[in-house]
Structure 1
Amino acid sequence: MDKPYIISYDLDNPGQKYDQVEKIIKSFGGAYIKIQGSVWLVRNSLSPEDMCTKLEQALDKNDCLFVCELVKNYQGLATDDQWKFIRENIFS
């Protein structure tokens, strides 16, 4: 069953493989949107553990990663297009 998640990360020196992290997130399938520099909302059938395991391939020991299931209780500042995508694809 697809669920909504937030993925947040900090890639510290020396490795900073942002392109590889983005490619891995997009490979999860389902819906995804990058809403801030290192913050994504995704909806897919993977568990947080599965996503972390896949993302660890692109992370160094000094990088940080957070994956958490979301509930439909949110607020913030985003573009109209981002809100539309979130409503239709993340919290559908």
Structure 2
Amino acid sequence: MTVYIITYDLKSPGQDYSKLYEKIKSLGDTNHPLESVWFVDTPKRANEIRDIVRSAMDANDSVFITRVTSNYGGYANKSLWTWLTSKGL
């Protein structure tokens, strides 16, 4: 499997995130460390993930998906680092 990062911007105020969250969770093992950022371990490709996620978004919303490599850094909750390490990253 491959770990991807999904980040999005829902433009309309008062958005219902539950459909989007369920779509992301359906992709595989997830970690949600920041408000509009998810990591997902899935066998799907980025374009497949995009299509699934977009089905729960409005036409004016944005989403960016890319594969995570072992070259990363940042400040986040320890659970994210533990999760990434458990995925071999």
Q: Tell me if TM exceeds 0.5.
A: yes
Residues 90 and 56 of structure 1: CA distance in aligned 2, closer, same or farther (over 3 Å):
farther
- Cα displacement string for residues 28-53 of structure 1 (whole angstroms, at most 9, x for unaligned residues): 12x21001001011111001111111
Q: Return structure 1 stretches of 4+ with deviation > 3 angstroms.
A: none
Secondary structure (helix, strand or coil) at the match of 2:18 reads: helix
Contact map agreement 1:52 1:67 (CA 8 A) in 2: yes
- Point out where structure 1 has 5 or more consecutive residues left out of the alignment: none
- Point out where structure 2 has 5 or more consecutive residues left out of the alignment: none
Residues 53 and 15 of structure 1: CA distance in aligned 2, closer, same or farther (over 3 Å):
farther
Q: How many percent identity over aligned positions?
A: 31
Q: Alpha carbon RMSD of aligned pairs, Å?
A: 1.6
Structure 1 distance, partners of 2:19, 2:76, is 25
Aligned length: 89
Contact map agreement 2:33 2:77 (CA 8 A) in 1: no
For 1:59, the equivalent position in structure 2 comes to 57
Q: Which one has the bigger helix percentage?
A: 1
Structure 2 distance, partners of 1:56, 1:15, is 18
Structure 2 distance, partners of 1:9, 1:63, is 7
For 1:22, the equivalent position in structure 2 comes to 21
Structure 2 distance, partners of 1:11, 1:76, is 24
